Structure 1
Amino acid sequence: MEAIEKFVRGVDLETFKKDDMRSSAVIRKFEIIGEATKNIPEDIKQKYHQVPWKDMAGMRDRLIHFYFGVKYDLVWNAITTVIPRIKPLINKILEDFGRLRRIDKNENP
């Protein structure tokens, strides 16, 4: 998500649509996020149920399988609306798992 935000910083939708390299990079990042989402264990998804896991995976599928062009409005909405909403949740999950790894390392050196 950090990379997506970096790629679009200071850019509006029209510029984003016209810049193939930038939009391709952002779309690729969304594909990676969606693919990673599909590999998250179900118990984690249930624990953090407020994250729209299914929508994140679905975004990847829509981008991968949309052969006749990209729906830039859909991508832009995800950039400007969805990411700011879910980023704190994802950061919390990463923080929780980082803490668990540190605890596990200390208990099982």
Structure 2
Amino acid sequence: MLRSAVERQFEIIGEALNQLSKFDPETAARIPDLPRVVAFRKILIHGYATVDDILVWQLATDRLSELERVVRMLLPENGD
């Protein structure tokens, strides 16, 4: 259940960033590794048989906080 929940949250993050890149490319360009996050979402959704659980956990524990920091920094600039 935990694995499924973590993967689902990455799917949501990836889709949100994908939509951001369409609606506000300028802001999206300020998010590091945005294309990689979107690509990771596609792997989770379409290639679930090949998902590496260790990689998912590593991203959740090592990289997610930096992404959150950047997004939180951008939110006040856009009035959200």
Letter in 1 for 2:14: G
Give unpaired runs (5+ residues) of structure 1. Answer: 1-20, 102-109
Mark the structure with the bigger radius of gyration: 1
* Greater relative contact order structure (CA < 8 Å, 6+ sep): 2
Runs of 5+ in structure 2 lacking a partner? none
Q: Report SS of the residue matched to 2:3.
A: helix
Q: 2:58 aligns with which of 77, 85, 100?
A: 77
Q: Distance in 2 between matches of 1:87 and 1:76?
A: 16
TM-score (norm: length of structure 2): 0.81
Q: How does 1:26-105 map to 2 (within 5 A)?
A: 26-40=6-20, 41-46=24-29, 48=30, 50-98=31-79
Identical counterparts, % of pairs: 31
Q: CA RMSD in A?
A: 1.7
Count how many residue pairs are aligned between Structure 1 and Structure 2: 77
Which structure shows the higher helix fraction? 2
TM-score, L = length of structure 1: 0.62
Rounded to whole Å, the distance in 1 between the matches of 2:6 and 2:78 is 26
